Structure 1
Amino acid sequence: MIFEHSDETRTWIARVQRFMDEHIYPNDELYHRQEREGDRWKAVPIVDELKAKARAEGLWNLFMPPHSGHVHVDDTFEFEGVQLSNLQFAAVAEILGKVGWASEVFNCSAPDTGNMEVLMRYGTRAQKDRYLRPLMRGETRSSFLMTEPAVASSDASNIETRIERDGDHYVINGRKWFSSGAGHPRCDVYIVMGKTDPTAGPYNQQSMILVDPKTPGITVERMLPVFGYEHEAHGGHAQVLLENVRVPAGNILLGEGRGFEIAQGRLGPGRIHHCMRIIGACEVALEMMCRRLLSRVAFGKAIAEHSVWEQRIAEARIDIEMCRLLCLKAAYMMDVAGNKSARAEIAMIKVAAPRIACKVIDDAIQAHGGAGVTADFGLAELYANNRIHRITDGPDEVHARTVARLELRKYANAAPGQAA
């Protein structure tokens, strides 16, 4: 693997950084003011304004990697975006991750990125025209309904929501939660995972289907706060009840029993996108920690000069560099060998990045003393936004299990005491 970015990648980095410097950072205060004004569940005006600028500059749908079968809808729209590789997008996503709302400006925010990839990879032409086109134009938002409150959803075979065929329709019954984005006023589609055949093999029972949020029988029961933050501008995290929800049979994705296949195709890229952004958040926390420690004096010298803080700063820099390299390796493996071959690398970075973020942000909070746990510096929210990633897209324990099993498999057939 060559660690130096290509000339093309450096060009994209420069273009995105320039946009951040000219439009995102100067409008951060305005964003938070508009976020607090009026209706809590809304599209923030400055985001819409900057989305138009980003799209006009070609900084749009950067996350979508190249796919076979280039598809055109009309002269001005392509399903595939600018086709950065995963490795290229890793460098860009780190920059976006430094400001919590920046990704949406470039139409690169979760859960829409994963949902767009699902529609791109597995959707029919009709499904793409109806749902993917407006998503990739940034006109709508989406939600992914997989996790359920009544079961341990870390094992997706436990999911109980039923999707039953009834003539030309499917009827859906179940309760989902942590349905990110479902509270956004522009949410236009749910991708729902449930069982179509409970008698099939454990990995052939599940299917995914596209559901219009306005369909009768859908109730958003409540919005779930994360450490007290509801993430209104991002659409929050909803608990959704589906009671006899009738959906046209043509809304099934790929076919019955293909839910696990789709989930693996969706979650691999989604997991690493989170990790790319997390590295940017770590850099922000480390910078804030250093600036605070240099600006305060205790016991006759700058706090930064006390050995305990020198140790914490050094560990933070070491951890971030290790994390970045592992993330780049995972992205590289996805590009050159495919998502399946990068399974171990994706699992490793999915464990490492959120853990390191929690540690670095926690140290930054400690450096700010009492101010760190207030809303004044944004560190409490930064911690909340990143702590959740130890659970989203599969908890640490599941990914560690994957890594362990892949490691043990290397030696399973070796004689006792022998190297494989």
Structure 2
Amino acid sequence: MNFEYSDKTKGLIAKLNAFMQEHIYPIEQAYIEQVYTNARQESTRWSTPKLMEQLKQKARDAGLWNLFLPHEYLPYGAGLTNLEYAPLCELMGRVMWSSEVFNCSAPDTGNMEVLAKYGSAQHKKDWLEPLLNGEIRSAFAMTEPAVASSDATNIETSIVRQGDNYVINGRKWYTSGAMNDKCQIMVVMGKTDPKAERHQQQSQILVPINTPGVTVVRAMAAMGHYDEPVGHAEVLFDNVKVPAANLLVGEGEGFAIAQGRLGPGRIHHCMRLIGCAQRALDMACKRVEERVAFGQPLSKQQSIRERIAQMHCDIEQARLLTLKAADSMDRHGNKVSRDIIAAIKIVAPKMACNVIDQAIQMHGAGGTSQDFILASTYAYARTIRLADGPDEVHMMQLGRNLIKDYNS
């Protein structure tokens, strides 16, 4: 198995790294401070800083745009394989907000893949093209407060056909992206036929966020962070009427669409988390050389050296498993690769939590402060242990499949 990057990938890595060094890292803290400043006023809390638009134009000019969409979605994306995209996504993951600069941020990436694969020509014109151009943002509404949404078949939001329309009723929360003032479209999952076979009850439908009956109830915090200016929302759907043409593919296809969407989404999060963890390790190596305790640099302490070594090993293991999963997806498709996708979704968030936690410890009180990125990246890593399916679901399904395969 050869994970040596192609010349094409090496060129993109060099170009992306140079862009990050010139345009992202120097203004990283200034951008965060601008977000904090905007967040103090409700009128600007969910507005993306103008600096982002300037950076996005620079990324487009540099040819670093829509890198996430693979070859089958040409001409919409860059045509990279999952294996080619992995190191680029990792680089973006080193700065929490930088993926948006390259139009590679969630939930838009997953929604664009859904629209590219399952959307009609009109859907693509109305919503995919503006998303690909970075002109609007989107949200994905799946999780519900009243049921255990880790089992997607529990979802209760109703999508009922009435003539040439569908009427939607339900309550969602942690609808990622719905708070941003540029969010215009939501992909909503609900039930069109509660009496159908268990995995054919669900459907997905496009709902413009300004549709009458849609109420953004409140912003939801994750680990104390509201993730301005993107945000996660609780959303109420009260007799929301949209054209029947807004349904994706057809009734009963929602679960299949969700599985197709979540495969790449899961591994993209893992790629970003490896970037977060690597950045945390780099920061820790710098910090322990600079700080003196008990008469010598922290780096001279044996316990520190052992922790640094273990952090490196953990990151490398997760990185290799991610690359193997990406390679399997490229060769065999998402369905065949489900077990290794589940494995990396179990491994990478836990790894990132542990590595970042150790880096925070080495930074002392400062590691928990706004002066370093560690607290926010830890919150992200911990949240991903729930997002796109909690650890327990992936372990349950992976264990079931392994036992079945062994005994077949």
Q: Where on the TM-score scale, by shorter chain, does this alignment land: which range?
A: over 0.9
Equivalent residue number for residue 170 of structure 1 = 166
Q: How much does 1:57 deviate?
A: 1.8
Distance, in Å, in 2 between the alignment partners of 1:344 and 1:265 is 14
- Give 1:50's aligned residue: 55
Match of 2:98 among 85, 90, 102: 102
Q: AA paired with 1:35?
A: V
SS in 2 for 1:188: strand
Cα deviation, residue 33, structure 1: 2.8
How far is the alpha carbon of 1:298 from its aligned partner?
A: 2.0
Q: Which residue type is aligned with residue 309 of structure 1?
A: I
Task: Confirm or deny: 8 A CA contact 2:92 2:98 kept in the other structure.
Answer: yes
Aligned to 1:353: 348
Counterpart-to-counterpart distance in 1, 2:129 and 2:55 = 20
Q: CA deviation at 1:403?
A: 1.6
In the superposition, the TM-score normalised over structure 2's length comes to 0.97
Residue type of the partner of 1:50? L
Q: Which amino acid in structure 1 is aligned with residue 334 of structure 2?
A: N
Aligned-partner Cα distance in 1 for 2:126–2:54: 24
- Aligned residue in 2 for 1:307: 302
How many Å separate the matches in 1 of 2:317 and 2:23? 30
| 1:324-335 paired onto structure 2 within 5 Å | 324-335=319-330
Structure 2 counterpart of 1:400, which letter?
Answer: M
Aligned match of 2:315: 320
What is the alpha-carbon root mean square deviation over aligned residues? 1.1
- 2:177 aligned partner: 181
Structure 2: which amino acid aligns with 1:228? Answer: G
Q: Which moved more, 1:306-315 or 1:184-193?
A: 306-315
1:301 offset after TM fit, Å?
Answer: 2.2
Asked if residue 146 in structure 1 is aligned to residue 142 in structure 2, the reply is: yes
Which residue identity does 1:152 align to in structure 2? A
Q: 2:41: which partner in 1?
A: none
Residue 75 of structure 1 is matched in structure 2 by: none
Q: Deviations over 1:139-178 (max 9, x none)?
A: 0000000000000000000000000000000000000000
- Once the two structures are overlaid, the 10-residue window that deviates more, 322-331 or 371-380, is 371-380
Identify which of 252, 256, 260 aligns with 2:251: 256
Corresponding residue SS for 1:18: helix
Cα distance between partner residues in 1 of 2:89 and 2:135: 21
User: 1:249: how far off?
Assistant: 0.2
Q: CA deviation at 1:299?
A: 2.4
Name the counterpart of 1:67.
Answer: 72
* Letter paired with 2:24: I
Per-residue Cα deviation, 1:203-239 (whole angstroms, up to 9, x for no partner): 0000000000000001111101112211112x20100
Partner residue in 2 for 1:15? 15
Distance in 1 separating the partners of 2:18 and 2:79:
20
Task: State whether residues 34 and 45 of structure 1, in contact with CA within 8 Å, keep that contact through their aligned partners in structure 2.
Answer: no
CA contact (8 A) 2:277 2:352 kept: yes
Q: CA deviation at 1:43?
A: 1.4
- Once the two structures are TM-superposed, the CA of residue 27 in structure 1 deviates from its matched residue by 1.9
In 1, Cα distance between equivalents of 2:290 and 2:62: 39
8 Å CA contact retained: 1:62, 1:84:
yes
Structure 1: gaps of 5 or more residues: 71-77, 414-420
Mapped pair 1:373 → 2:368: yes
**1:220 corresponds to:** 216
Question: Which structure 2 residues correspond to residues 200-219 of structure 1 after superposition, within 5 A?
Answer: 200-219=196-215
Q: Distance in 2 between matches of 1:398 and 1:264?
A: 14
Note if contact 1:64-1:81 (Cα within 8 Å) is conserved in structure 2. Answer: yes
Q: For the Cα contact (< 8 Å) 2:90–2:271, is it kept in 1?
A: yes
Return the letter of the residue paired with 1:324.
Answer: R
> CA–CA distance in 2 between the matches of 1:374 and 1:52?
32
Amino acid paired to 1:150: A
Match of 1:336 among 331, 342, 346: 331
Of 294-303 and 165-174, more deviation after overlay is shown by 294-303
Shift of residue 320, structure 1, vs aligned partner:
0.2
CA contact (8 A) 1:30 1:46 kept: no
Q: What TM-score, normalized to structure 1?
A: 0.94
Provide the rounded CA distance (Å) in 1 between the counterparts of 2:398 and 2:299. Answer: 37
Structure with the higher helix share, 1 or 2: 2
- Displaced runs of 4+ in structure 1, greater than 6 A? none
Count of residue pairs the alignment pairs up = 403
1: CA distance between counterparts of 2:91 and 2:298?
29
State the identity %. 54
